[in-house]
């Protein structure tokens, strides 16, 4: 009798695990579908959004300055032969890998852009503070990794505002740029959330592999001038891939800049 009960329990547990596994697979498939649908737009959308944002704020006539104090137009003429790319990282800060990434970026003299999760910023504010102090751009991802299009307007705004609040507490500055999870922004929030949307040109899907070589290969096969590269500071392989990408592209004459500098051109 006891053996029969054990068999029944095992069968029930097995069926439950299969059901959970199937649900996870279905959710991942749905996420991939949403990702593909939302990110089918290119970073050109972000450049258009930036112009619209400036016009709405009546800042279009302002002459942005570079770090050395030169007008952006003069600097642009000086660097017209320079091939620029932007390296961006989503989903951080990560307690195991963001510090390692920042060490390597500092060693190489590279500035990157980090689109952070508010829930992680609250847990590891020191990492975001360090990134900001070392000259990296800090942008909003969301408070949690959710599809903003599936939320009400109020819920989506809360995701952004909570994250920006966490960024402010960590760095003393609010973020001006946002990359929504899956690239899924709600167009009607443009006037609710005064931020510039930043997408990407190259997505090597580093989150789906532990092979840094594969990630490097995918990026190098697609990269060109003004590319925005999407990575994640959430694994050792992604960090290693980032360093190899930097070292390789620098030898090819590329300069790494933040998305702000790239989009202001």
Over the stretch 124-166, which tens digit does the pLDDT of each residue have?
Answer: 999 999 999 999 999 999 999 999 999 999 999 999 999 999 9
Geometric angle at alpha carbon 85, from 121 and 261, rounded to 5°: 70
140 by DSSP, 3-state: which? strand
Give this prediction's pTM.
Answer: 0.76
Other Cβ atoms within 10 Å of 265 Cβ, number: 13
Question: Catalytic residues, which ones?
Answer: 90, 232
pLDDT for 188-236, tens place per residue? 787 678 899 999 999 999 999 999 999 999 999 999 999 999 999 999 9
- Higher-confidence position of 74 and 134: 134
Residues 140/115, Cβ–Cβ less than 8 Å:
yes
Q: What confidence category does residue 45 fall into, taking pLDDT thresholds of 50, 70 and 90?
A: very low
Q: Cα–Cα distance between 98 and 235 in angstroms, integer?
A: 9
Q: How many residues does the chain have?
A: 265
Residues 6+ apart with CB under 8 A from 213: 241
Geometric angle at alpha carbon 45, from 140 and 239, rounded to 5°: 50
Which of 56-65, 165-174, 191-200 comes out lowest in average pLDDT? 56-65
45, burial (CB in 10 Å: exposed 0-12, middle 13-18, buried 19+): middle
Residues 87/110, Cβ–Cβ less than 8 Å:
yes
């Amino acid at each position: 009798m006891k053996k029969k009960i054990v068999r029944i329990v095992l069968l029930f547990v097995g069926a439950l695990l299969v059901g959970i596994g199937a649900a996870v697979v279905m959710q991942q498939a749905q996420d991939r579908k949403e990702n593909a649908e939302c990110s089918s737009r290119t970073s050109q959308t972000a450049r258009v959004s930036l112009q619209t944002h400036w016009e709405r704020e009546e800042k279009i006539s302002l002459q942005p300055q570079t770090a050395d104090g030169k007008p952006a137009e003069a600097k642009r003429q000086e660097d017209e032969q320079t091939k620029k790319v932007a390296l961006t990282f989503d989903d951080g800060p990560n307690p195991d890998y963001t510090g390692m990434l920042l060490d390597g970026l500092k060693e190489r003299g590279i500035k990157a852009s980090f689109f952070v999760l508010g829930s992680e910023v609250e847990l590891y504010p020191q990492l975001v503070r360090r990134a900001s102090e070392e000259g990296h751009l800090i942008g909003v991802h969301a408070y949690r990794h959710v599809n903003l299009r599936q939320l009400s307007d109020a819920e989506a705004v809360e995701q952004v505002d909570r994250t920006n609040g966490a960024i402010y507490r960590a760095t003393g500055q609010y973020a001006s740029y946002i990359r929504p999870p899956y690239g899924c922004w709600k167009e009607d929030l443009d006037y609710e959330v005064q931020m510039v949307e930043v997408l990407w040109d190259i997505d090597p899907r580093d989150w789906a592999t532990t092979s840094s070589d594969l990630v490097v290969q995918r990026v190098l096969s697609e990269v060109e001038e003004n590319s925005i590269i999407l990575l994640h500071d959430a694994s050792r392989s992604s960090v290693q891939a980032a360093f190899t990408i930097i070292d390789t592209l620098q030898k090819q004459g590329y300069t790494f800049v933040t998305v702000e500098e790239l989009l202001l051109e």
